[in-house]
Structure 1
Amino acid sequence: MLLLALDTATPAVTVALHDGERTLASDAQVDARRHGELLLPAVDRVLKDAGVTLTDLTGLVVGTGPGPYTGLRVGLATAEVLGFARGVPVHGLCTLDGLAYAAGLGAEPVEGPFVVATDARRKEVYWRRYADPRTPVTEPAVDRPADIAEEVAGLPAAGAGALLYPDTFPDARAPEHASAAALAALAAERIAAGEDLPAPRPLYLRRPDAQVPKNYKVVTPQ
């Protein structure tokens, strides 16, 4: 197995290569406005650091969000193109699941029930509850922190959304951003267990900001 993982659903542009047992190389940069510029150079660095090429890959896994429309599409489109070009499968995993898995591997690992919350902008968070780092108990959602305060009360929380809203998430934990290394490790674990991973379909959870005008303005002479 040689699995390339990508995630651009958060401000982090993160890439990793996993051989089924360990992470061979990884790269992460945090820049919410430059996903498109940073992703492919990061892929090149990871492959070079691991001493492999795209022809060696056996599959790809990409974070499916939830996340802002533009950034999320960069990772998904890139994974689809690379997978098609090399003729290898492309799997999708919820970005929140990757964060939850990473939360169980940190210096202060989260083991019991907890929450993952990322920044959804507009004073909202994308969030999901977990029984443990591998087991979600709710569907991904987007809400204002104050509206979910009772549901998450008393639970540790990982992710940038938790750090932004300490009144709702007073026990914020690392990691802050998505990790392709954690996403790849989780995917490799599930593949080894014989699980079928989801297709790479985006989790937007809300409509994009850009809308097609309902009434076009007439600009030609009458």
Structure 2
Amino acid sequence: MRILTIDTSAIASAALLDFDPQDPVKTAELVANFATVDTRSQAEELAPGVKSLFTDPVAEGPALDAIIVGTGPGPFTGLRSGIAMARTLSFTWGVPLYGMMSLDALAQQVFDTPKKDSAGRALGPLAMDDFVIATDARRKEVYWAKYSAGAHLLDGPHVGPAADIFGVPVFGAGAGLYEEVLVGNRCTVHAPLAHAQPTALELGRAAIRKITAAGSLEGAGLLDSTPLYLRESDAKVPGPRKRAL
């Protein structure tokens, strides 16, 4: 099975992955991957980035088994660009489209990352108990959700100040931005993942985990492509002009 994953909740990213949904032991193969560093150029970078994944998009696109897009939470402009691209490709190529919460990508990265000692030896899972993923929501706030040690969603997503999070390990760019506040709330911040952003590659790995556990796309409990904005848009439709006296 081959899937295209797209996420623009923070950076612009896309990935092509091959896997066998009937064989959960076999590692998924990364066919191609694209990701930016800039968090404000999703609309400009995404289309050429997706195109670069394919040798022949006209032939290879319709052969996909699914397109999976990160639905946020994230800023309006960036998030819309990824979802619009995914919906367009799904319609054009006739490929099924599914959504996943973008924070799941970072939760999967935490799940896959071992805790190591000073000599670099793996000591076990990085998260031994419940943890929080937090990303930058701007306006001095974070998007966040709580997960079990097995990277299963327990609560969220939410948007609000980092001061709302208490007593858990916190991972993601939101942790790096508000480390002092979080540590003051008895949270721990893991430096190597304190600036991590959701990516399409990690989103794909999280999706593959769900699909292989279910044995099929249809039974994996994936979402539709409705965006998780969590806040109202700053752009407002102008009201009627006031009459001059």
Q: Does 1:167 align with 2:187?
A: no
Give the whole-Å Cα distance in 2 for the aligned partners of 1:130 and 1:196.
17
Question: Does 1:203 find its partner at 2:228?
Answer: yes
Q: Does 1:4 align with 2:37?
A: no
Separation in 2, partners of 1:218, 1:16: 54
Deviation digits for residues 155-193 of structure 1, max 9, x if unmatched?
211111110001233332316101211111111222231
8 Å contact from structure 1 (residues 23, 185) kept in 2: no
Report SS of the residue matched to 1:211: coil
Other-structure match for 2:157: 140
Aligned to 2:43: 36
Distance 1:123 1:24 in 2: 37
User: Which residue of 170, 177, 181 corresponds with 1:157?
Assistant: 170
Structure 1 residue runs of 4 or more that deviate by more than 4 Å after TM superposition: none
Instruction: Give the Cα–Cα distance (whole angstroms) in 2 for the partners of residues 63 and 132 of structure 1.
Output: 22
Residue in 2 that maps onto 1:119: 136
1:89 aligns with 2:96: yes
Give the Å deviation of 1:111. Answer: 4.0
1:78-104 deviation line (CA, Å, top 9, x unaligned): 000001111111110000111111122
Provide TM-score, normalisation by structure 2: 0.80
Contact map agreement 2:62 2:94 (CA 8 A) in 1: no
* Deviation, structure 1 residue 205: 0.6
Find the counterpart in structure 2 of residue 24 from structure 1: 31
Q: Tell me, which stretches of 5 or more residues in structure 1 are unaligned? A: none
Name the CA distance, whole Å, in 1 between partners of 2:201 and 2:127: 18
Instruction: Output the amino acid matched with 2:161.
Output: R
Shift in Å at residue 133 of structure 1? 4.5
**Shift in alpha-carbon separation, 1:112–1:47, aligned structure 2, 3 A:** farther
- Seq. identity, %: 39
Which residue number in structure 2 is paired with residue 58 of structure 1?
Answer: 65
From the superposition, tell whether residues 210 and 48 of structure 1 become closer, same or farther in structure 2 (CA, over 3 Å). Answer: same
Structure 2 SS opposite 1:31 = coil
Tell me: CA distance 1:107–1:218, structure 2 relative to 1, closer, same or farther (3 Å). Answer: farther
Aligned residues: 214
Kindly provide the amino acid, as one letter, of the partner of residue 14 in structure 1: S
Residues 1:111 and 1:61: Cα distance change in structure 2 (over 3 Å): farther
Q: Does 1:106 align with 2:113?
A: yes
